Chain A
Amino acid sequence: ACGGAPAPGGVPLAGGNQATPRKGGALRAVFGGGPAESLDPYAGGTPVDFVRNDVVYDSLFVLRGSDSVPSLATAVEVAKDAKSFTLRLRENVRWHDGSPFTAQDVVYSLRYMCSPDRPFPSQLAPYLDVAKASATDAKTVVVPTLTPVGDPAQLLAAIPAKIVKDGAKDFSAGKAIGTGPYRVDSFEAGRQTRLVRFDGHWDGQAPADEILLLSLSDPQTAVRAVTSGQADYAGDVPVATAKTGVPGGDLEIRTAGEANRVGFAFVLNTTRKPFDDPRVRRAARLAVNRQALVDTVLLGYGAPGNDLFGKGARHYSDLPPLPRDVDAARKLIKEAGAEGAVVTLRSAEYVLGYNASTQLFAEQLKEIGLDARVQLVGLQEFFEPAALAEANSVTFSIGPSPLAVTYGRLGAFPSLGLADPEFTAAFQRALGATDDTVRAQAWAQVQKVMAERGNTVVWGQADVLSVARKTVAGVQVRDEAKYPYLGKAGLA
């Protein structure tokens, strides 16, 4: 299913070992990490933080494929006006210290995660009125919303919303407590976390006795950890490494599968010339050589995109990609009078491949008569609002998050969103719809506008690759494939 021609050694296996892992043993996994890690689920932002949080803490809902399934919450009831919802919580859940899980924990967690004091405040904040959230009894929580939210379970599953214990403030190694299948034994930021199985987990016991999470900032080093036998699994491996292949018969390169690909895009700024003109936007989409980008930037590990984010998410419109047509693009540019217009393409190596794709995109835009200039910047300044507002295009990628999350994010940023009345109306309708058919219609309309005159040039869907010992089994994807769920993983 992969485009291009992967090298003999580099054909990735979808999904990996499907066997049920045996009970016991220690799983050693490497992820990107660093000194900024934290056991506080709202204070750390590195990959290993997300992986660790997933097994130490539980969420109210989790994503399985495109569906949100109950976790700490068993059900959610949405009010008619979609301006509040009621959560029913699971019985017999215990914290790592043995105390019972209550509705008060959820209320506290919602407030905790949305507070601006958090280094990474939850993205639920614009949706939920957490100050007014209340526990009506030990297992029921009512949460008013700030805008109509028709399907809160999707949001609660897709946006990391780990539940911490009521009153928890101190998340140092001995104190960090969750309800998840593993508890923290020892932790040192940027080095490693030792997690041991929590036998009292509500979802049954996890297979591995112990998970050792190793933090490395350099992906190549991470792969070397596996090839040299010092680890069993390395997540989010660069395509070049995959292409090189791994030595030895007991290692394999895996992909998280087509449904878990990440959409790579250039988001055009519709608040500025020349991309304020839909014709020029369309020209850019006609100009981009999707297959070349997939073959070069992704080394074939992926497929051309259709300019819509959210492949694999619910209500995604699987339209065919726009075929490349340089002549038509030139004509559109001429019509719009944008010949020779200067366009700055802002990028940083936020994700491997951003800069490369931007450089190629610039070459392709030059072919249709735009004066494309690549603006490569450092990570620390990449997302400066003022600078983003000045750039004509920003390189960006989003995984298969629910469409509400994806378009919500883009819309929050004037220079990333699409200022189009039809689009905005349809989006609001989709977000607030409590009925699934209405929702499906609304999303279809949102994506139709995007496909016609949208501003996201999603040129490719990239495989999420990992390197693993063949015996590593049970690795699941819940929200993003880059941060797999290890709660059911172990050695077969």
Chain B
Amino acid sequence: MNPGLALVLRRTALSGGLLVLLTVVVYVGVDLLPGDPVTARLGPNTSPARIAEIRDHLGLDRPVLTRYTEWAWGLLHGDLGHAANHRPVTEVLSDRIGNSLLLAVLAVLLLAPLSVFFGVLAAWHRGRATDRIVSSAALTLVSLPEFVVAGALVVVFATGLGWLPALSFVPAGVSPLAQPAVLVLPVLSLLLVGLAYAVRVIRACAVATLRSPQVEFLTLNGTPPLTIALRAVVPSVLPVAVQVWLISASGFVGGAVLVEQVFGYPGVGELLVTSVRSGDLPVVQALVVVLGGGMLLALVLADLAAVLLTPRLRTAVTG
């Protein structure tokens, strides 16, 4: 078998095992979180005796491992159980995951070229004004919380210039893609925040490459700067950059709570936080499995990318 393919298969299988581990840890962990679905929901409007009765009725008092086995069994059959409001969890997740993925994919598609561009630009002019400006701007941007960045974008582009909608309302059942304008500001907010991290790390990698003898060789032989950047610097930062993009993307999917809230964009981040807050454990557990599974898959891809993009590692695998 092709050794590259074998590597992928092995890693994927391993990730499957890790996913099982993840589900156990998370199921049990989430179960141990303070508060339980019934108290969180019914709050003080219901007497403790009645709460106990309902808990008992719902089988929440059975040993956690029993419940885990049932849940995992359902999972194997594609059944993620029911949310607190009795909707099938799969249904609750499906539209939101799509929305979040859309946002994340768009943001990463923009992030990748832009981060490399600014990272290499800053590295090229290291120690000079361009570098200072890019680096300081990047750090200031991350230091401002997301909602401030998002809010500023709204003030400028929606309230001020009126170019874009302030809120990303999409009618029920319609994909945000049908109204691309609503995606612009959320994507931009995510991008600005994610960009900072990527630019800084890529800059550091690029600086190391620019000091290397191969770049000296290219420079002294009159290779145009753009060629040097594209042929020598960019390939050298890519293996690291891919990791950074991956990290950012995972943040965009599960961690974009505030951006989603500011724009009223129905995504997974908000789902996760509200489910945690309302003790809607089936949703939390399902989300962790789906997000975790997606992340593990993405990690395999990132590992693969790191191998493919590092010639020494690639040739060690492919011969």
Give A contacts to B, CB under 8 Å.
34-38, 40, 43-45, 116-117, 119-121, 123, 125-126, 173, 186-194, 214, 216-218, 221, 224-225, 227-228, 230, 350, 377-385, 387-388, 394, 396, 409, 412-414, 416
Contact with A along B156-183 (1 / 0, CB 8 A): 0011000001110111110000000000
A416-B43 Cα distance, complex, nearest whole Å: 12
Mark each residue of chain B from 254 to 267: 1 if its CB lies under 8 Å from any CB of chain A, else 0. 00000001111010
B271-292 CB mask vs A (1 if < 8 Å, else 0) is 1001111111001000000000
The complex places the Cα of A187 from the Cα of B95 at a distance, in Å, of: 13
Residue B47 interfacial (CB < 8 Å): yes
Check A224 against B154 for contact (C-beta < 8 Å). Answer: yes
A-B contact pairs, 13 of them (CB 8 A): A34-B271, A36-B84, A43-B86, A116-B53, A214-B169, A224-B166, A225-B167, A230-B167, A230-B169, A379-B278, A380-B34, A380-B278, A409-B44
Would you give the shortest CB distance from A48 to chain B, in whole angstroms? Answer: 12
A291: shortest Cβ distance to chain B, in Å? 27
On whether the beta carbons of B57 and A225 are closer than 8 Å, the reply is: no
**Chain B 1-44 against A: per-residue CB contact (8 Å), 1 yes, 0 no?**
00000000000000000000000000000000111100111111
Query: How many Å from the CB of A463 to the closest CB on chain B?
Result: 23
CA distance A456 to B278 in the complex (A): 26
Interface check B83, CB cutoff 8 A:
yes
* Cross-interface CB contact of A126 among B33, B47, B261, B271, cutoff 8 Å: B47
B169 to chain A, nearest CB (A): 6
> Pick the contact of A117 from B33, B35, B57 — CB < 8 Å?
B57
Task: List residues of B (44-84) whose CB comes within 8 Å of A's CBs.
Answer: 44-48, 50-51, 53-54, 57-58, 83-84
Contact present for A35 and B44 (CB under 8 Å):
no
- Given A221-B264, A228-B159: A120 in contact with B42 (beta carbons within 8 A): yes
Contact of A217 among B95, B158, B270 (CB under 8 A): B270
CB distance from A266 to the nearest CB of B (A): 13
* Contact between chains at A413 and B274 (CB < 8 Å): no
B172 in contact with A384 (CB, 8 Å): no
Beta-carbon contact of B35 and A381 below 8 Å: yes
Given A35-B274, A117-B57, A221-B264: A383 and B43 interface contact (C-beta under 8 Å): yes
Across the interface, do A228 and B166 meet the contact criterion of CB distance under 8 Å?
yes
How long is the Cα–Cα vector from A37 to B275 in the complex, in angstroms?
11
The reply to whether the CB of B87 lies closer than 8 angstroms to some CB of chain A is yes
Q: Report chain B residues within 8 Å CB of A382.
A: 35, 40, 43
Report which residue of A35, A214, A382 has the largest number of chain B beta carbons within 10 angstroms of its beta carbon. A35
- Bin chain B's interface residue count: 35 or more
Q: Are A380 and B154 in contact (CB under 8 A)?
A: no
* B92: interface (CB < 8 Å): yes
In the complex, how many angstroms separate the beta carbon of B45 from the nearest chain A beta carbon? Answer: 6
A35-B283, A116-B57 given; A413·B48 CB < 8 A: yes
- Which of A186, A379, A387 gathers the greatest number of chain B CB atoms within 10 Å? A379
Give which listed residue, A35, A36, A379, A409, contacts B45 with CB less than 8 A. Answer: A409
B85 at interface, CB cutoff 8 A: yes
Q: A116-B53, A228-B159 are known contacts. Are A192 and B171 too (CB-CB below 8 A)?
A: yes
- Closest-by-CB residue of A relative to B158 is A228
- Chain B residues whose C-beta falls within 8 Å of the C-beta of A216 in the assembled complex: 167, 261, 264
User: What is the CA–CA distance of A224 and B151 in the complex, to the nearest angstrom?
Assistant: 11
Q: Is B96 an interface residue (CB 8 A)?
A: yes
C-alpha spacing A173/B172, complex, angstroms: 11
Residues from chain A with a CB closer than 8 A to the CB of B42 are 120-121, 383
* Chain B hits for A230, CB < 8 A: 165-167, 169
Q: Give the chain A neighbours of B275 by CB distance below 8 A.
A: 35-36
**Do A36 and B40 have beta carbons less than 8 Å apart?**
no
Contact of A36 with B85 in the complex, beta carbons under 8 Å: yes
Which residues of B are found within 8 Å of A224, using beta-carbon distances? 154, 166-167
**Assembled-state Cα–Cα distance A416/B44 (Å):** 9
Chain B residue numbers with a CB within 8 Å of A45 are: 41, 278
Q: Which residues of A contact B280 (CB under 8 A)?
A: 36
What's the Cα separation between A409 and B274 when bound, in Å? 25
Do residues A388 and B172 form an inter-chain contact, with CB atoms below 8 A?
A: no
Q: B34's closest neighbor in chain A, by CB?
A: A381
Chain A's nearest CB lies how many Å from the CB of B168? Answer: 10
Q: With CB as the reference atom, state the residue of chain A lying closest to B279.
A: A380
CB pair B270 A190 closer than 8 Å = yes
The smallest C-beta distance from B291 to any residue of chain A, in angstroms, reads 15
A413 to B49, CA, bound (A): 9
**Please, which residues of chain A bring their CB within 8 A of the CB of B158?**
228
User: Residue A194 contacts which of B40, B172, B263, B264 (CB distance < 8 angstroms)?
Assistant: B172
Contacts of B45 in A (CB 8 A): 123, 409
